[in-house]
Amino acid sequence: MALVTSRMSSSRIPSVKRIPIANSMAEQLIPAAFRCPISLDLMKDPVTLHTGITYDRRSIEAWLELGNLTCPVTNQALGNEDLVPNHSIRRMIQDWCVANRSLGIERIPTPRIPVTPTQVSDLLSEMRFACRRGDNARCRELARKIKALGRESERNRKCIISGGVGRVLSTCFSELATESLENTRAGAMDEILSALAAFLPLDEGSYLQLASPKPLDSIVSVLKSADLEGRLNAALVLKELASSSPPDRIEVVAGTNGLVEALVKLIEKPISPRATNASMVTAFYLVASSERIAARFVEMGIVSLLLEILVDSEKSMCEKALGVLDGVLSCSRGREMASAHSLAVPVLVKKTSRVADMATEFAVSALWKLCKNDDGGERVVEALQAGAFQKLLLLLQVGCKGTTKEKVGDLLKLLNRNKRSSECIETVDLRGLKRSF
């Protein structure tokens, strides 16, 4: 046993969650045959190698994932890595737990048998055939089953992904999207979209299948629906498409009818933090792709919406909102809308030093775009009154790099020209400013 423990520590086996044991006396009563030779804990899911040694599934899988090709106890070479569930030992462990319940020992639940690559292959093949013959009900049933198997364990999820689930699901979704609208088809597509969201990220081939006009129209249709879970799934898939697509595909995604409106609505009226985050990330990649797309977001009122969010949002959301705002300020209409908003300059000045490095870069870039294109000088004066000179000078002294450093230098030059005629306010209280809504 000591030899196994020594080998285990040298191979850096991940820690395994222990079975709750009420006290050390009860733990000492655990029979040696019920302990995993690797973790030395009570086994939850005993499995046996072809060498005849039984281990807890999680421990031996961790051992094998590290590239070990021998049995930890016998040191025999493993001709195969098949793990056979040891039902006899598992039932004996369960009986022992029940018999010692008075000592605070919890009965281990009966584990689910993991899915095998052969089972995954059969399920995906059946789904392909069901889709080709137009059996929408069967497609829906299989998509639900595949998703449920993936949620049972991380092992199942990895096995299903390695079996090519993304390619099959995206192909089926694309084929259904080209057919005439029927309730049964819509139900199958909703279930497939839900399964796609459960197995993100997808491979490049899957993204190419989905980033086509018909599938995109169907995804946006779900994004605009009343089904909250469906809208979340659509937002998650769109985020992956936007963040993984090359520039030419981004144009296709952005050109989908109703997409910009649906994204802005989801940000304005959140249904869940995950959906809002996904919508922000999608918007970030879309506005960064071209000024034309950024202008479409501006026309939908994204500038005012982002500034309101930035007043009091948590760190992660603040960073994403600043990224989108910096993107929309690349277009003249975006700068025009921001210049007319009372929150724009004070918020950006405040965010240059109070969030995170990435947020600081976005805030400096956005402020630079506003002040650099400020013909009348009003935004520069406003920035001075909000304390921008001191904050940017401190930022330069603390250290910033690359284009951010260049923009800080440009801003300091602009501000210095107007410094004498402007009164600097050390602290900025955004609550007193008049908001647009």
User: For residue range 112-121, what is the model confidence (pLDDT) as tens digits?
Assistant: 888 989 999 9
Record the pTM: 0.78
Cα separation of 219 and 270, whole Å?
A: 18
The verdict on whether omega for the bond into residue 117 sits within 30 degrees of 0, i.e. cis, is no
Cα separation of 414 and 372, whole Å?
A: 8
* Crossing angle of helices 273-289 and 228-244, rounded to 10°: 30
User: For residue range 221-250, what is the model confidence (pLDDT) as tens digits?
Assistant: 999 998 999 999 999 999 999 998 888 788
First to last CA, the chain: 69
Residue 4 has pLDDT above 60, yes or no: no
Structure tokens that stand for 84 in this block: 């056979």
pLDDT of residue 16: 40
% of residues, the chain, pLDDT over 70: 88
Mean pLDDT of the chain: 86
Cα separation of 97 and 91, whole Å?
A: 10
Higher-scoring residue by pLDDT: 372, 423: 372
DSSP SS3 for 2: helix
Q: What DSSP element (H or E) covers 84?
A: strand 84-85
Cα separation of 432 and 210, whole Å?
A: 47
Cα separation of 164 and 400, whole Å?
A: 44
* Cα-only R_g, the chain: 29
Q: How far is CA 343 from the centre of its chain?
A: 30
pLDDT of residue 314: 85
Which of 314, 262, 311 shows the shortest CA–CA distance to 286?
Answer: 262
Structure tokens that stand for 21 in this block: 């044991």
pLDDT of residue 313: 82
Q: Which one-letter DSSP state was computed for residue 180? A: P
Structure tokens that stand for 380 in this block: 């520069």
Q: What DSSP element (H or E) covers 54?
A: strand 54-56
pLDDT of residue 401: 79
Structure tokens that stand for 203 in this block: 């491979």
pLDDT of residue 358: 87
Residues with Cβ < 8 Å from 201, sequence gap 6 or more? 240, 244
User: For residue range 255-312, what is the model confidence (pLDDT) as tens digits?
Assistant: 899 999 999 999 999 999 999 999 999 999 999 988 999 999 999 999 999 999 998 8
Angle at 422 between CA 419 and CA 426, to 5 degrees: 90
Residue with tokens 């302990």: 35
Residue 404 neighbours by CB distance under 10 Å? 20
Residue 384 neighbours by CB distance under 10 Å? 26
| Residue 111 banded pLDDT, cuts 50, 70, 90 | confident
- Can you list the alpha helix ranges (DSSP code H) found in 352-387? 357-372, 378-385
Q: How far is CA 22 from the centre of its chain?
A: 37
Q: What DSSP element (H or E) covers 46?
A: strand 46-48
Q: What are the distances in angstroms from CA 259 to CA 166, 170, 248, 296?
A: 23, 19, 17, 10
DSSP SS3 for 432: helix
Beta bridge partners of 42: 35
User: For residue range 48-63, what is the model confidence (pLDDT) as tens digits?
Assistant: 999 999 999 989 988 9
Q: Is the Cβ–Cβ distance between 29 and 100 less than 8 Å?
A: yes
30: amino acid identity, one letter: I
What sign does the dihedral 388-390-395-401 (CA atoms) show?
A: positive
Burial of 165 per CB tally in 10 Å (0-12, 13-18, 19+): buried
% of residues, the chain, pLDDT over 90: 57
